Amino acid sequence: MKTDDTTEDTENTYRAAQPEEDQAAQPEEDRAAQPEEERAGAPGTAGSPPPPEDARARRHDLTAAALAVLLVTAAILIGRYVQNRTGTLQVQWPPLLASWDPHLGPGTPAALTLAVLVIAYGPPLAARLPWRGLLAAAWAGSTAWVFSMALIDGWYRGVERRLTTKHEYLRVIDRFDDIPATLRDFTNHIVIGEPGNWPAHVAGHPPGATLTFVWLDRIGLGGGAWAAVWCVVVGSSAVLAALITVRVLADERLARHAAPFLALAPAAVWAGVSADGYFAAVAAWSVALLALAATRRVRFPAAAAVGGGVLFGWTCYLSYGLGLMAAVLLAVLVLARTARPVVPFLLGALVVPAAFTLVGFHWWTAYHLLVERYYQGAGGVRPYAYWVWANLACAVLAAGLAAVAGVRRSASYAPGAVRTLRAGTAAPAQRLALLVLAALVALLAADLSGMSKAETERIWQPFLLWLLPAAALLPARTARYWLVASVVPALLINHLLWTGW
């Protein structure tokens, strides 16, 4: 993978962060990526001045954002009515699993300061920094953002205690003294009513999730604080995986434009601290390694493909629903127009399932028992008719309005993107749009399954991550406005609600 920028790349990405009226020309491939109605009258020669951006496209972006706000509003009002009347939603502040609790905390000044700094200086810095410097800054910024949001609830309540509550993984560490024996017996404790049934999160996931914390404990990093640090630091590296993937599948300019939106992801409210942020990072690195292998942007593509496969196998043993990430992985191969990495990727993907199966844990058996357990609890009470659309309102809050507008643009690019991809002439923006839409397909499949009723603001982090780069499709001069539109609701949620789980 290339790690240093050429002078020309740096200049191009710097122009991308400037107001469009200051740019001398718009790249021809960017105009080609726009829907026909958005580039009417676009000159056919690369050297001719670009037309002004169609005001209709901007209105469509704002309309999409307004409709998303209406969706959230409807989910709140209808949700409160249903919950107050029947109590079947099983959440106190629908559509979020949260309760009303206005508060400030030690993370408040840090979160506000970081938000202001990234909004003010993030877009131009993302354009100017060397690529390696941008990756380091994005990871550091994302980590600081998640920690500061968690610390709004205080160190003990917001960080140290999060993974030690009665539903969490750390409550069963002492039951894994003999790991092989525990794995062989794991499925006997999933269903409620069985002796020693697992806590909700342990029962609701394959044992890879719990084993992560067991191994941390074995190397001397036991307890809630170390588990939280692991989830935040590793989870924040998902930003790097997303940036690398966008760079190799689309182009560096779009990756740089996406960086501030990834660093200030609204999902930080739930990533700090939950294991789902860690799951998102493992899945993201699987995608990134496959993208590097497919585009041959690394010295040893086959090794990258095997590594991506191993991580995908591990992803499936962290969460049953993350097999749906196969949609994003398939999109990587389609965008790279190659099947070369498939065999090494599949060989790598078999490693983890083979190891667990040989020890005595059977994934499919456990999954069917999980479905039974799910409907024994809140999943059997929560109404599908509400959550099938209210889940999407949760996704809006966790992804932000910038992602909503970006997804709108992705959908508008899709028809042209499919045509040009077949011809091998797809523009970077078109390729990014297809990657985003693949993640949206995975998210919608999870929604329609009925196995994700509520809590999707947290559970869907692995899918939501890939919607955030869609913000790079928005006009560069509006980046700060869209950052504000995404960050302010996240700060309000974190300060006005207690988002326990």
**The 3-state secondary structure of 269-310, one letter per residue:** HHHCCCHHHHHHHHHHHHHHHHHHHHHCCCCCHHHHHHHHHH
Q: In the prediction, which pLDDT does 13 show?
A: 37
Q: In the prediction, which pLDDT does 53 show?
A: 59
Which has the closest alpha carbon to 204: 19, 411, 377, 9?
377
Helix then strand count (H, E) for the chain reads: 25, 2
**What is the distance between the alpha carbons of residues 117 and 134, in angstroms, rounded to a whole number?**
15
pLDDT averages per 10-residue partition of the chain, 501 residues: 40 38 37 40 36 79 98 98 96 96 97 98 97 98 98 96 94 96 97 92 97 98 97 98 98 98 98 96 98 97 98 98 98 97 98 98 97 94 97 98 98 94 93 98 97 95 98 96 98 95 72
Instruction: Count Cα neighbours of 201 within 13 Å in the Cβ-side half-sphere.
Output: 24
Q: In the prediction, which pLDDT does 201 show?
A: 95
Name the CA radius of gyration of the chain, rounded. 22
**What is the distance between the alpha carbons of residues 329 and 438, in angstroms, rounded to a whole number?**
9
Phi, psi of 220 (to 5 degrees): 90, 10
Q: Count of CB atoms within 10 A of residue 452's CB?
A: 21
Cα angle 400, 406, 409 (rounded to 5 degrees) comes to: 150
The sign of the torsion formed by the CA atoms of 222, 228, 232, 238 equals positive
Instruction: Determine the residue type at 14.
Output: Y
The sign of the torsion formed by the CA atoms of 191, 282, 396, 419 equals negative
- The strand pair at 497-498 and 99-100 is best described as antiparallel
Q: In the prediction, which pLDDT does 317 show?
A: 98
pTM: 0.90
Which has the closest alpha carbon to 413: 38, 16, 26?
38
Phi, psi of 41 (to 5 degrees): 85, 5
Q: In the prediction, which pLDDT does 52 show?
A: 53
**What is the distance between the alpha carbons of residues 109 and 107, in angstroms, rounded to a whole number?**
6
